[in-house]
Amino acid sequence: MTPLAIISIIIVYFGILIGISHYISKKDSSNDAFFSANKNAKWYLVAFGMIGTALSGVTFISVPGEVGSPNGEQFKYFQFVLGNAVGFLLTASILLPLYYKYNLVSIYTYIEKKLGHYSYKSAATIFLLSRTIGSAFRLYLVVIVLQRYVFDYFGIPFFATVLIALLLIYAYTYKGGLKTIIVTDTLQTFFLVASVIFTIIFICHSLDLSAVEAFETIKNSNYSKVFFFEDFISSRYHFLKQFIGGIFVTLAMVGLDQDLMQKNLSCKNIKEAQKNMYSFTAIFVVINLFFLGVGALLYIYAEKNGISVPLDLASGKPRTDLLFPEIAFNYLSIVPAIVFLLGLTAATFATTDSALTALTTSFCIDFLHMDKKKDDKSNVWKRKLVHLAFSLLMFLVIILFNAINDASVVSMIFKIASYTYGPLLGLFTFAILFNNRAVKDKVVPYICLVAPFITLWISNNSATLLGGYIFDNELILVNGLITVLLLFIASTKRIEPITE
């Protein structure tokens, strides 16, 4: 598939998204439409569209790539996905009722009601920082793929590729915001799901396998081990670590994250929002299983055709997340290549457009307090400027990542950003469970800074401190518990608990 053909498809793709945005937002581009879709979104559209938001472009290429990792990961990711499913169900049954009870636009205003002003600003700041770095990291890794296989051919520099990508996202989200994204993400999720299914079909056809034969081939391969129960102490892959980590990562990075919760809060009522979450959970589990199946088939196909895992241009080491695009663009026919491109593009931009909208919403509500002001033209213009500012900020962060040019350093920055979700988990846990205690509000920002560093120290020294124990995703639970403990120490018993 030629780079010119790829660019043509991308142009048509974004032309469709911008056309949809113009049609939806021409009648209503108010802040209510941007922040909450006028609280009138259809639950089934939200449920389906959330798949594209939850599965980034990195997931699209990394999850299949990790199946054949030299570390022997195989299907171990599915243990984490099962934990995710439980986390989604807990979010639907515990957190959503709270958000609807208080009729929240930004979920962090709940912290203000329970803990105070500084706690509220701390929670909102954690989200803005973490989501900006996290979304920039995910977009950066996918833009590297597009740069390598497309834009280098035309001599387009990396910064121009990033700028074009973000401007295209801004073009179809700046007016309608969430109201537009609910529709465009539904379309993008369709491309994402179709891409996974058709990729399986195309590879099975190339290997002369029926659906049943493909299942048996994967089952009997060296890539299909799902559950790891060996060596609980020192193995990162143990089922309990992955499962428990999946639960609490989901609670913190989905249930306490403005991005995905903003879509849920656009439904008419709590029942529709919960219906959306339950449906989304079922689809999420199945689609991730398909991703893992794609990974196994890709490695089986690569072995049969003598294809090596592509090397990273900077380090010269094999990069498993490049295997999928390598096979799709260079070994399969044009139709599978187009399907892969649409899936990768959909996964990438469904995540980024949603993040930019959520960042804009949080800043406008939590720092500019637009929910307490009349929705006039001046507020609409301020919101559009904030939206543009976050687009430019994400551009600068991605350029910084590229300037560092060290995958391990960039990954470390992303990991540090993910640590900040632990204090968010602690803040909400304390607010929900300790209604009879008043925290010293001005101390909370310092607690949110200290807790991740204590957690990092524990993680780095766990082998010595805990008899060889190695943490993985379950570390976020430790982070949250440390935050709760510090909040409890910095609190006193209320004379009268907050009335609900």
Please give the average pLDDT of every successive group of 10 residues along the chain, which has 500 residues: 77 84 75 76 82 76 86 90 95 94 91 94 94 87 81 88 89 78 83 86 90 92 91 92 93 89 87 92 92 93 90 76 86 82 80 87 90 74 91 93 69 71 95 92 96 93 91 91 96 73
Instruction: Convert the pLDDT of each residue in 275-323 to its tens digit.
Output: 999 999 999 999 999 999 999 999 999 999 999 988 876 667 788 888 8
φ, ψ (nearest 5 deg) of residue 458:
-60, -45
Task: Name the amino acid, one letter, at 55.
Answer: L
| Beta-carbon contacts of residue 411 (< 8 Å; ≥ 6 apart) | none
| Beta-carbon contacts of residue 113 (< 8 Å; ≥ 6 apart) | 102, 498
Tokens of 352: 């980024």
Cα angle value 136/141/144 (rounded, 5°): 120
What's the pLDDT score for residue 477?
93
Domain residue limits, the chain: 3-409
From the list 97, 31, 135, 35, the residue with the least C-alpha distance to 362 is 35
Task: Name the amino acid, one letter, at 302.
Answer: A
Cα angle value 266/262/476 (rounded, 5°): 145
Q: What pTM was estimated for this model as a whole?
A: 0.88
Tokens of 8: 């043509």
Beta strand 437-439 with 491-493 is antiparallel
Is there a contact between 261 and 102 (Cβ–Cβ < 8 Å)?
Answer: no
Tokens of 53: 């938001």
The count of other CB atoms within 10 Å of the CB of residue 131 is 25
Question: Cα separation of 392 and 200, whole Å?
Answer: 37
Cα angle value 120/122/128 (rounded, 5°): 105
State whether the Cα torsion 350-355-358-363 is positive or negative: negative
Question: Cα separation of 75 and 372, whole Å?
Answer: 48
Q: Is 381 left (phi over 0), alpha (psi -120 to 50) or beta?
A: alpha
What's the pLDDT score for residue 409?
56
Question: Cα separation of 410 and 418, whole Å?
Answer: 13
Buried-state track 299-334, b at ≥16 Cβ within 10 A, e below 16: bbbbeeeebebbeeeeeeeebbbbbbbbbbbeebee
Residue 365: which H helix or E strand, with range? Answer: helix 334-366
3-state secondary structure of 108: coil
Question: Cα separation of 29 and 66, whole Å?
Answer: 42
Question: Cα separation of 216 and 482, whole Å?
Answer: 46
What's the pLDDT score for residue 139?
86
Is there a contact between 260 and 50 (Cβ–Cβ < 8 Å)?
Answer: yes
Domain boundaries 3-409, corresponding CATH code: 1.20.1730.10
Q: Is 37 left (phi over 0), alpha (psi -120 to 50) or beta?
A: left
Query: What is the rounded radius of gyration, in angstroms, for the C-alpha atoms of the chain?
Result: 22
Cα angle value 86/346/329 (rounded, 5°): 115
